[in-house]
Structure 1
Amino acid sequence: MKISLTGAVFGAVMASAVYAGEVLPTAVAFTDGAVEQSLSGMPGDAANGRLIVGDKKKGNCVACHQVSDLADVPFQGEIGPPLDGAGERWSEAELRGIVANAKIMFEDSMMPSFYKTEGFIRPGKAYTGKAADDTFGPLLGAQQIEDVVAYLTTLKE
């Protein structure tokens, strides 16, 4: 009994090492623009990611991108590339890096950095028109980023 309990504890420790917990925006490790490690320590939920991508108060990705899967969301943008086929064009790690901070991979990108909290010139407080205060956080949380990435990986041509 003692051996199997030790084995169970060891297995739990190893499993938690794979999903080590939330990575703070200031601690994200980029490699050529890609982010290998999950930002939340948990797998993403593609269904929730779909909602975030189409929600004009959350990710609002459709303000700049077209997504055929979200044809019911009106007024999709044409500034960024269509997201159809994103799951074939980029790996999960590349998509995570692009959503977290596209400027690392694409220096001249107009895309907002959804998981960044410092290095701004004049940050504002969400959509209030006021200056940021001590509650300033990223546009999307770590799990929301993982959910968006999970959804984007499903978009195949």
Structure 2
Amino acid sequence: MRLLTITAAMLVAGMATAETVAPADVQFDEDGAVAVSLTGQPGDAARGRDVFATKSKGNCVSCHAVAQLADVPFHGEVGPELSWTGDNRSAEELRGIVADAKMTFEGSMMPSFYKTKGYIRPGDAYTGKAPKTDELPPLLSAQDIEDVVAFLLTLQES
């Protein structure tokens, strides 16, 4: 019993000091799921709701309708309705989809929210404003991803 208690304490302590997984280090399985938390910290569903609904953050509601967000105007119809996502997807699947939906759904129009390389963008000849670097910051932080996943898991039929 004592060994079990010590082992559990070590696991909890290790999780509390876990490093954030960098975008380039995210490990997707063959179906696009991400088994490991990007932060080692639990997501905050209330904060995830804010990221999901706020235009200057995730702005997910611009493409997805969610019945539980009746107070947020202008739900989109480009992506699937997500009102029962928590009943149909695991945290691992949702983490992969939010981080980079193209790993799950090839050809998806959904932005890659946790990616820094491999973007196709207009060159200097088109806009004159193309970034001079191959790497861009991710659209959402690792904790933002975990928070959105926590929110999506709350979206259930009951």
Does the pair score TM above 0.5? yes
How far off is 1:70 after superposition? 1.0
TM-score, with structure 1 as normaliser = 0.84
How far off is 1:45 after superposition? 0.1
List aligned pairs for 1:20-99, cutoff 5 A. 20-31=18-29, 32-99=31-98
Partners of 2:145 and 2:37 in 1: how far apart?
9
Partners of 2:104 and 2:14 in 1: how far apart?
27
Out of 17-26 and 113-122, give the one that drifted further: 17-26
Deviations, residues 85-111 of structure 1 (Å, cap 9, x unaligned): 011111110000000000000002100
5+ residue gaps, structure 1: none
Number of aligned residue pairs: give it.
147
| Contact 1:123 1:132 survives alignment (8 Å) | no
Partners of 2:65 and 2:43 in 1: how far apart?
22
5+ residue gaps, structure 2: none
CA RMSD of aligned residues (A): 2.4
| Contact 2:100 2:114 survives alignment (8 Å) | yes
Partners of 1:33 and 1:24 in 2: how far apart?
17
Does residue 113 (structure 1) correspond to residue 105 (structure 2)? The answer is: no
User: Which amino acid in the other structure matches residue 62 of structure 1?
Assistant: V
| Contact 1:21 1:42 survives alignment (8 Å) | no
Residue in 2 that maps onto 1:15: 12
Partners of 1:78 and 1:21 in 2: how far apart?
36
Partners of 1:123 and 1:139 in 2: how far apart?
18
TM-score, with structure 2 as normaliser = 0.84
Partners of 1:133 and 1:45 in 2: how far apart?
35
Deviations, residues 23-42 of structure 1 (Å, cap 9, x unaligned): 00000000121001000111
Partners of 1:64 and 1:123 in 2: how far apart?
23
Aligned residues with identical type, % of pairs: 58
